[in-house]
């Protein structure tokens, strides 16, 4: 397996550490206690030796690069490094060549879309090795039989490699498209008239001078939903028209920006309040299929309100019961790509399990100049509610045909990471692009350069506001873990998270160190791949928290993620393995039998 460096540069002043004694350790405990709910317990154990009784204090006062210089160096690095290897067989060492240690990938997750360029077993294995955490299956393209083959390939490959890998099913939604057009398409000039018929017909040019170009659409009710003065945009806005008259069986538009129109091109109606259902009959077929194949996440396209998310959730529950899979509750990712969704973002985020900033249709529906600010606003709301966020569309678009991105694209990915996105997504770049592996490698390298910059900034807690308001004990405990981890310079957090809830709460505190989330459940491990900084691991159920401490030591030392005496924070509850009981943390020195939850040994035996 290939794991890349989790760079710790900037974590410690001048590259060194400062030892601190019991007084500073106690201060860390008091700070954590003030952050935690009263039901939480904080456990501190030390071996008693003067050397081990101390803890390393974390510093965040490393010199901070100027932002412009950072981007310049990052972009230059992307240009020189991407062109170096053979694009078809990128070289990525499985371990750090200097010490042969297995090393962590970046905290930011990568979602890759499957397609003709990336669906064979060897390629899927390479993409997982290079850094893909979740594969996206786009239900807008391909047949369900091929999707089933892809699901089996991902599952078998991930199992063989020992890396939990999630699958995101992306529902098409009510995408309105141009009807049938003759081969080669029809070039519609600027200033001409264009008529969209209710009836399904084959498009044709004017039959008389000054006549109209005639088209149909996949949505006959377009005639009922648009009004004069509203925009009708075709092919992601490449062809732009304005409604001048609505008739009983057609809509007459004037073409304000012409271009070529071919069959199946998308139609956007940014000014119209559509009556179309957010979930089509075809979408429901895909939902049922997703449950049958135990897809890990479902993305809902063209969400207009929280009711759309609730409707899909009820449908998932209904199909799960019908198929005898009552325990299978697939998390829902709301895709934000309509102005109405932006206006109602808080209620949508509250109803969904995660959101995706889908900048493709969003950039068509909104004024393009607004998209960067809207992206940041959406991410801020998701952070407030403690929900994961995926940033998607054209992140490394140039790499569909080139082995290196533009500087602007590198900056775009880095900016999303600086805003603490949970995941960045590749679409056509991996689905049909020429360099899918090199594209993932480039995205991963951008994260490797960007995350140490984030870690070097002055430390500040950033627990989600909505989670603080709920006063839920696991969320409060996660906030306390942040303080303890900082004061002891922890190398990582280790949490028993049976269904992924504890891991999600920890992730939303924006740690700069890995969170190792342990579970017995395969599905939970795959779903946790969406959370920033969380690295899911499956283990047998331990006898108790003391046994959990020993298992963690054995595992981390065996695979080379840790060295003896590395400091970490353990998070768990009793009985271990039961969801919703996480209520304690323990400071632990890896390999030291007297730290962590060691004091529970007698009670468990």
71-100 pLDDT, tens digit per residue, is: 444 444 444 444 433 333 332 333 343 444
3-state secondary structure 252-286: EEEEEECEEECCCCEEECCCCCCCCCCCCHHHHHH
Give me the residues paired with residue 188 across strands.
259
Q: How far apart are CA 173 and CA 205, in angstroms?
A: 30
Q: How far apart are CA 383 and CA 139, in angstroms?
A: 28
| Residue 234, in any domain of the structure | yes
Choose the final residue of a domain: 455, 471, 498. 455
| Residue 77, in any domain of the structure | yes
| Residue 3, in any domain of the structure | no
**CA dihedral angle for residue 112, residue 118, residue 124, residue 126, rounded to 10 degrees:** -90
| Residue 133, in any domain of the structure | yes
Q: How far apart are CA 304 and CA 277, in angstroms?
A: 10
| Residue 274, in any domain of the structure | no
**Angle subtended by helix axes 436-455 and 407-418, to nearest 10:** 50
Q: What spatial distance separates the first Cα and last Cα of the chain, rounded to whole Å?
A: 37
Query: Same structural domain for residues 184 and 123?
Result: no
Exposed/middle/buried for 480, CB within 10 Å: 0-12, 13-18, 19+? buried
Q: How far apart are CA 488 and CA 599, in angstroms?
A: 20
Q: How far apart are CA 185 and CA 235, in angstroms?
A: 12
DSSP code of 204?
B
**Per-residue confidence (pLDDT) for residue 275, from 0 to 100:** 85
Query: Same structural domain for residues 425 and 485?
Result: no
* Residue 26 tokens, joined: 């106690």
Query: Same structural domain for residues 471 and 600?
Result: yes
- Residue 57 sits in a domain whose CATH number is 3.40.1380.20
Residues sharing a CB contact under 8 Å with residue 281, sequence separation 6 or more, in sequence order: none
**CA dihedral angle for residue 214, residue 217, residue 219, residue 220, rounded to 10 degrees:** 30
Choose the final residue of a domain: 438, 455, 472. 455
Q: What is 57-75 written as a DSSP string?
A: EP---SPPPPHHHHHHHHH
Phi, psi torsion values for 535, nearest 5 degrees: -120, 100
What is the Cα 274 distance to its own chain's centre? 29
Helical (H) or strand (E) element with 593: none
**Per-residue confidence (pLDDT) for residue 464, from 0 to 100:** 64
**Per-residue confidence (pLDDT) for residue 479, from 0 to 100:** 79
Dihedral-angle region of residue 191 (phi above 0 means left; psi in -120 to 50 means alpha; beta otherwise): left
**Per-residue confidence (pLDDT) for residue 175, from 0 to 100:** 84
Q: How far apart are CA 592 and CA 586, in angstroms?
A: 13
Query: Same structural domain for residues 73 and 112?
Result: yes
* Residue 577 tokens, joined: 């393995």
Q: How far apart are CA 90 and CA 71, in angstroms?
A: 24
Q: How far apart are CA 404 and CA 577, in angstroms?
A: 45
CA angle, 182 then 185 then 189, to 5°: 130
Nearest to 290 by CA among 332, 262, 248, 255: 332
Nearest to 40 by CA among 368, 446, 556, 475: 475
For residue 415, whether the previous peptide bond is cis, meaning omega lies within 30 degrees of 0, is no
Query: In which residue are the tokens 């996949």 written?
Result: 218
The total number of residues written for the chain in this structure: 605
Query: Same structural domain for residues 439 and 512?
Result: no
pLDDT in tens, 445-498: 999 999 999 999 887 666 666 666 666 676 778 878 988 999 999 999 999 999
Query: Same structural domain for residues 163 and 188?
Result: no
| Residue 28, in any domain of the structure | yes
| Residue 145, in any domain of the structure | yes
Residues sharing a CB contact under 8 Å with residue 268, sequence separation 6 or more, in sequence order: 176, 231, 232, 233, 234, 236, 237, 361, 364, 365
Query: Same structural domain for residues 292 and 418?
Result: yes
Q: Which domain holds residue 225?
A: 176-268
Give me the residues paired with residue 56 across strands.
19
**Per-residue confidence (pLDDT) for residue 144, from 0 to 100:** 95
pTM above 0.75, yes or no: yes
Query: Same structural domain for residues 105 and 165?
Result: yes
Helical (H) or strand (E) element with 389: strand 389-392
Query: Same structural domain for residues 360 and 443?
Result: yes
Note whether 240 and 182 are within 8 A (CB). Answer: no
CA angle, 70 then 402 then 412, to 5°: 35
* Residue 412 tokens, joined: 């775009």
- Residue 409 sits in a domain whose CATH number is 3.20.20.60
Number of domains, the chain: 3
Query: Same structural domain for residues 99 and 222?
Result: no
Q: Which residues of the chain have pLDDT under 50?
A: 1-100, 602, 605
Alpha-carbon dihedral sign for residues 530, 534, 537, 538: negative
Q: How far apart are CA 435 and CA 440, in angstroms?
A: 9
Residues sharing a CB contact under 8 Å with residue 505, sequence separation 6 or more, in sequence order: 386, 467, 474, 475, 477, 478
Q: How far apart are CA 113 and CA 117, in angstroms?
A: 10
CA angle, 537 then 570 then 506, to 5°: 70
Query: Same structural domain for residues 19 and 49?
Result: yes
- Residue 420: C-alpha distances to residues 319, 439, 450 (Å): 35, 21, 11
| Residue 54, in any domain of the structure | yes
Exposed/middle/buried for 273, CB within 10 Å: 0-12, 13-18, 19+? exposed
CA angle, 521 then 504 then 115, to 5°: 70
* Residue 175 tokens, joined: 């995408």
Choose the final residue of a domain: 428, 455, 482. 455
Query: Same structural domain for residues 86 and 108?
Result: yes
DSSP code of 403?
S
**Per-residue confidence (pLDDT) for residue 551, from 0 to 100:** 93
């Amino acid at each position: 397996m290939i794991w890349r460096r989790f760079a710790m540069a900037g974590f410690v002043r001048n590259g060194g550490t400062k030892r601190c004694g019991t007084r500073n350790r106690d201060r860390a405990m008091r700070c954590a206690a003030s952050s935690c709910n009263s039901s939480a317990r904080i456990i501190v154990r030390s071996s008693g030796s003067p050397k081990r009784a101390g803890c390393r204090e974390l510093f965040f006062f490393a010199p901070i690069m100027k932002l412009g210089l950072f981007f310049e160096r990052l972009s230059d690095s992307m240009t020189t490094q991407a062109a170096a290897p053979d694009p078809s067989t990128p070289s990525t060492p499985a371990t750090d060549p200097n010490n042969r240690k297995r090393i962590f990938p970046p905290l930011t997750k990568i979602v890759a879309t499957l397609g003709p360029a990336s669906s064979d077993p060897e390629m899927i294995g390479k993409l997982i090795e290079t850094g893909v955490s979740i594969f996206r299956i786009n239900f807008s393209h391909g047949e369900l039989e091929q999707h089933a083959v892809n699901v089996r390939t991902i599952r078998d490959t991930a199992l063989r490699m020992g890396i939990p890998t999630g699958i995101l099913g992306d529902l098409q939604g009510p995408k309105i498209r141009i009807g049938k057009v003759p081969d080669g398409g029809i070039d519609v000039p600027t200033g001409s008239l264009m008529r969209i018929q209710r009836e399904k017909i084959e498009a044709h040019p004017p039959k008389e001078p000054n006549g109209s170009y005639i088209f149909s659409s996949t949505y006959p009710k377009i005639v009922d939903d648009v009004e004069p003065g509203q925009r009708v945009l075709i092919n992601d806005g490449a062809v732009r028209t304005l409604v001048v008259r609505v008739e009983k069986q057609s809509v007459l538009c004037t073409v304000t920006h012409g271009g070529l129109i071919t069959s199946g091109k998308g139609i956007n109606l940014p000014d119209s309040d559509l009556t179309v259902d957010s979930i089509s009959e075809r979408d429901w077929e895909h939902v049922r299929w997703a449950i049958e194949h135990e897809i890990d996440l479902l993305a809902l396209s063209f969400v207009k309100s929280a009711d759309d998310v609730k409707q899909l959730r009820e449908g998932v529950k209904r199909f799960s019961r019908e198929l005898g899979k009552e325990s299978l509750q697939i998390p829902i990712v709301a895709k934000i790509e309509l102005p109405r969704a932006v206006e109602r973002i808080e209620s949508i985020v509250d109803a969904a399990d995660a959101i995706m900033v889908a900048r493709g249709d969003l950039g068509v529906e909104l004024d393009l100049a607004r998209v960067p600010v809207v992206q940041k606003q959406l991410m801020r709301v998701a952070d407030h509610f403690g929900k994961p966020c995926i940033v998607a569309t054209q992140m490394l678009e140039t790499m569909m045909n080139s082995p290196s991105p533009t500087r602007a694209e590198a900056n775009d990915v880095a900016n999303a990471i600086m805003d603490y996105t949970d995941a960045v997504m590749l679409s056509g770049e991996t689905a049909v692009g020429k360099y899918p592996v090199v594209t993932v490698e480039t995205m991963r390298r951008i994260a490797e350069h960007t995350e140490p910059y984030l870690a070097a900034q002055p430390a500040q807690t950033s627990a989600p506001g909505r989670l603080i308001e709920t006063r839920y004990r696991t969320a409060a405990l996660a906030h306390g873990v942040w303080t303890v981890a900082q004061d002891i310079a922890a190398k990582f957090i280790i949490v028993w998270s049976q269904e992924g809830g504890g891991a999600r709460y920890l992730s939303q505190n924006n740690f700069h160190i890995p969170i190792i989330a342990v579970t017995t459940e395969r599905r939970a491990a795959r779903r946790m791949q969406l959370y920033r900084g969380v690295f899911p691991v499956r283990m047998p159920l331990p006898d108790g928290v003391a046994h959990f401490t020993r298992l963690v030591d054995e595992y981390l030392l065996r695979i080379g993620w840790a060295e003896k005496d590395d400091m970490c924070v353990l998070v768990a509850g009793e009985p271990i393995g039961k969801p919703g009981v996480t209520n304690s943390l323990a400071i632990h020195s890896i390999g030291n039998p007297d730290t962590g939850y060691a004091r529970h040994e007698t009670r468990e035996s």
